[in-house]
Structure 1
Amino acid sequence: MDFKSLPQLLDHFKEEKTCIEYYENIRWAGKPVCPHCDAEHPYVTTRGYKCSNNECYKKFTVKVGTIFENSKISLRTWFAAIWRCTNHKKGISSVQLSLDLGITQKTAWFVLHRVREMLKDKSPRMLGEYGMVEADEAYIGQREQTKHYSKRRSDENPSLRNDGSPYVEKKVIVGIIERNGKVVLKHVPNATKKNMVALIEKHVPKGAKIYTDESKVYKSLKKHYTHETVKHALSIYVAGDVHTNTIENFWSVLKRGLVGVYHQVSEKHLERYLDEFSARFNTRDITTSDRFQNFLKESESYLSHKRLIGVK
């Protein structure tokens, strides 16, 4: 099962039966459990299973309660989508995925968002317990000087564009990264002390070493952390161990993915894209085959189309 490439993966999973048996072993390890009531020892049916609990007695398959639920796409296609999404360093667009897998762009878009639902970190750990941490913020959006005049901020009314429509500020992302470790990302409304420091206090234990730039929002970190700043304003980017180059390198990958691959990401779904990029980064040290299997173990996250687009 040590797949080293997509062709090897597809060669192994030629039949749907093989995919189902593989996924049942990943999810249940040979002991099927009813996803509705957690009852064990279900009856085997021609299409899956039937709960043995008389109060439940519902039919189900291994897909129920997972990202694959209510999907007419074969597991073979799903596996290929997961492989491609999790192994492309900067992601893959729904247009490209639809061409690669022979599905519609709309379907590929939904598939990718379900995969991102699977990639959410279910149990985020504290950063900096055994090393140094860097914190920084990134701004996603077009530069003001490169915008068309009609889309620039109005001088008369800063809340509007020159064409009269509401002005949209750049999206702010806070990032915390442990050197040689994991990254935590969060989209926040604005780069204030409340938003920035709150995330750090949530994911970094008190007393840890943390490095940032000279922004005023980080000044209060000295109360609980060993906090040092790098003087970017003085063109000083490294002073011994004090630098933010690790998080800056991560920002370059994130921005190239969001701009170069996805081109435009709505604020509504930005957090899901951040989950995707952080999941790939946090599993960079394991093999592609292990990454694929580990993510499948976290696939018990159902996402309906109505919930995705915000329809009640």
Structure 2
Amino acid sequence: MAKHPDIELDTTAVFKSIIQMLDSLPDENTCRQHLEKLRWNGQPICPKCGSQRDNHYKLKQKGEFKGLYKCKDCRERFTVRVGTIFESSHIPLRKWFTAIYLFAAHKKGISSLQLHRDLNVTQKTAWFMLSRIRHSFANNVEFEFDEITQLDETYVGGKNKNRSKKKKVSNTQGRSLKTKVPVFGMLSGGLVYVKVVKNTRSKVLTPIIEAKIKKGTVVVTDGWNAYKRLNKSYIHHVIKHNEGIYKMGAYHTNGIEGFWSLLKRGTTGIYHAVSPKHLQRYCDEYAYRYNTRHMKDGERFNLSLVNSDERIKYKDLIASN
């Protein structure tokens, strides 16, 4: 790709569109500089010993510096890619950046088939890129809900009536675990936390609730039996949907149910089918976009680059559970 030495990179920029991002980062060098600024703030950090210096050795290749450093303390060689989803990848950073921008900006995500056409890579490569990005978006930020918290559960899986005759499974309409996977969610203060669970019984949900919600907090649920004992640790308000009641004053579960609608419309409309094995990553993807929904696309793009630490290898991605 032709270089543009006359372009001065503004590494603090928040891009207003993908076109502006591509114009501002036209080659590998400018993309690397942008990533270094975001992740290192001008001082390279050795991924092995953690040494942060602005004078680590810069190693040149054929007389040109391409981002390879040598740590002055442990003597390890490294680049800004090490320890990120870009490590050991032969895909140019510009294609990675394009994929991340599209993935983060599109409200319902982007399929591997669409991405492979947009980036001119194979569908297998596009799927792996998306899987790595999705894995790095995992909701691993530790926080505790201490405001009014909505709790709800849903079941992800196709409807039996929509299956072909050969694929129909008897007695599976509704909440059957034969063809559907239960997902539990909590929403408070504009943040959502989602967890794929094996079932929605009290002994499964209660430990998750107690780990994420401060005791004494107001919790709002529907009339599902698994929530009956929450009043021992929380101020519990029950919205009796089976009686046609959907709101009691300031208390309702409309927020978390709205998130379920977004999740299901996205997985059905964009991805069409999601295997139980990868469902948690898709839930984390939608939770990430929901929790950053007030950010501009360029801000979410930069945040995604900063939080690109969690790298999953292909062999682990396709390994059986």
| TM over 0.5, shorter chain | yes
8 Å Cα contact 2:115/2:126 also seen in 1: yes
Residues 49 and 96 (structure 1), Cα distance of their counterparts in 2 relative to 1, 3 Å cut:
same
Q: Secondary structure at the match of 1:233?
A: helix
Distance 1:188 1:196 in 2: 8
CA displacement at 1:153 relative to structure 2: 3.4
Q: How does 1:153-164 map to 2 (within 5 A)?
A: 153-154=169-170
Give 1:143's aligned residue.
159
Q: 1:132-189 CA distances to partner (integer Å, 9 max, x unpaired)?
A: 111100111122333334333357xx9xxxxxxxx833110001011x4100000001
1:45 to 59, 74, 78: 59
Residues 306 and 153 (structure 1), Cα distance of their counterparts in 2 relative to 1, 3 Å cut:
same
Q: Secondary structure at the match of 2:185?
A: strand
1:168 to 172, 178, 201: 178
8 Å Cα contact 2:14/2:302 also seen in 1: no
> Percent of pairs identical after alignment?
42
The one-letter code sitting in structure 2 at the alignment partner of 1:245 is N
The one-letter code sitting in structure 2 at the alignment partner of 1:7 is I
Q: Cα RMSD over matched residues? A: 1.8
Number of residue equivalences: 297
2:143 to 113, 121, 125: 125
Distance 1:241 1:290 in 2: 32
Q: How does 1:96-115 map to 2 (within 5 A)?
A: 96-115=114-133
- The range that moved more, 60-69 or 283-292, is 283-292
TM-score (norm 2): 0.88
CA displacement at 1:17 relative to structure 2: 0.7
Say if 2:263 is the partner of 1:245: no
1:33 to 26, 45, 65: 45
Q: Secondary structure at the match of 1:199?
A: helix
Distance 2:95 2:313 in 1: 19
Q: How does 1:14-33 map to 2 (within 5 A)?
A: 14-33=26-45
8 Å Cα contact 1:40/1:52 also seen in 2: no
Q: Secondary structure at the match of 2:126?
A: helix
Gapped regions of structure 1 (runs ≥ 5): 159-166
CA displacement at 1:201 relative to structure 2: 1.2
1:196 to 192, 205, 210: 205
Distance 2:143 2:288 in 1: 13
CA displacement at 1:302 relative to structure 2: 2.1
TM-score (norm 1): 0.90
Say if 2:97 is the partner of 1:87: no
Q: 1:16-37 CA distances to partner (integer Å, 9 max, x unpaired)?
A: 1111111111111111122122
Q: Secondary structure at the match of 1:186?
A: strand
The one-letter code sitting in structure 2 at the alignment partner of 1:52 is K
CA displacement at 1:239 relative to structure 2: 2.1
Q: Secondary structure at the match of 1:269?
A: helix
Distance 1:234 1:208 in 2: 25
CA displacement at 1:252 relative to structure 2: 0.6
Q: Secondary structure at the match of 1:124?
A: coil
Gapped regions of structure 2 (runs ≥ 5): 1-12, 61-65
CA displacement at 1:98 relative to structure 2: 1.0
2:81 to 37, 50, 63: 63
